[in-house]
A and B are shown apart, each in its own frame.
Chain A
């Protein structure tokens, strides 16, 4: 499994766009990139998944450069409720593979 590196913490303000970058230098050809969000006292929840270029949904965008050695989760116009821990996962689309979480990035949004 490709190891991921994320910043331990980030701060931002309401209304700003927040970009969280994840480094995965050893990503394999068949690996996908997935991001989860975890609020205090809750289990993580799926945000977005991608393989290359750009993926967008109603919550976030995921930017993946051509070499796929990093990815950036973009949260547009954050609010206080976006304060959470964000996890970047990289893994193969194989039904037999385990799913490993890293340490995540603790995002704090201020008024």
Chain B
């Protein structure tokens, strides 16, 4: 049972480069989301999706794009990486949004932008 799978686990980028963080879940969850966590801080919501074809902005969406073409996948795209985007990124999924139950997290993707 894979749960939520994130790739890559580690990535180093140069300023201005673009990349995509992949997230896939095999639990048929409707709700998926991306968070970033800076050292010593809590999690901040970047973007979320309540179902295939539906996405919306979270607390800190600038500099990131998402799409949800399938229930399983929710990639996060960095359009032009900046040092301020150095962080650990977590993808999470839940059966539904809101507080309906358990949110399952991936192992995280550690991104460094030089």
In the bound complex, CA of A87 to CA of B106 (Å): 17
Nearest Cβ in chain B — how far from A68, in angstroms? Answer: 13
Tell me the residues in window 53-89 of chain A with beta carbons closer than 8 Å to chain B beta carbons.
85, 87, 89
Let me know if B98 is at the binding interface, CB within 8 A. yes
Inter-chain contact A43/B92, CB cutoff 8 Å: yes
The reply to whether B99 and A92 contact each other, CB–CB distance below 8 Å, is yes
* B31 shortest CB reach to chain A, Å: 7
Alpha-carbon distance A43/B110, docked complex (angstroms): 12
Q: In the complex, what residues of A have CB within 8 A of residue B53's CB?
A: none
Given known contacts A43-B92, A96-B50, A101 and B35 CB-to-CB distance under 8 angstroms: yes
Those of B23-52 within 8 Å (CB) of chain A: 30-31, 33, 35, 41-45, 48, 50
Contact (Cβ within 8 A) A94 B106: no
Contact between A101 and B42, CB atoms less than 8 A apart: yes
Asked if A36 and B50 sit within 8 Å, CB to CB, the answer is no
Q: When the two chains form their complex, are residues A93 and B99 in contact, meaning their CB atoms are under 8 A apart?
A: yes
Docked-complex contact B100 and A95, CB < 8 angstroms: yes
CA distance A103 to B52 in the complex (A): 30
Contact present for B48 and A99 (CB under 8 Å) = yes
- Say whether, besides A43-B90, A95-B97, A87 and B103 are in contact (CB < 8 Å): no
How many angstroms from the CA of A46 to the CA of B104 in the assembled complex?
8
A59 to B92, CA, bound (A): 22
- Residues in B neighbouring A94, C-beta threshold 8 A: 97-98, 100
Given contacts A98-B58, A104-B42, contact A43 B99 (CB under 8 A): no
Within 8 Å CB of A46, what residues of B?
Answer: 101-103
A29: Cβ under 8 A from any B Cβ: no
- Chain A residues with a Cβ under 8 A of chain B: 31-34, 36, 41-46, 49, 85, 87, 89-104
11 example contacts (A-B, Cβ-Cβ < 8 A) are as follows A43-B90, A43-B108, A44-B90, A44-B103, A87-B42, A90-B99, A93-B100, A94-B97, A94-B98, A103-B42, A104-B42
- Which 5 pairs between the two chains have the least Cβ-Cβ distance? A43-B105, A97-B98, A95-B96, A91-B99, A32-B99
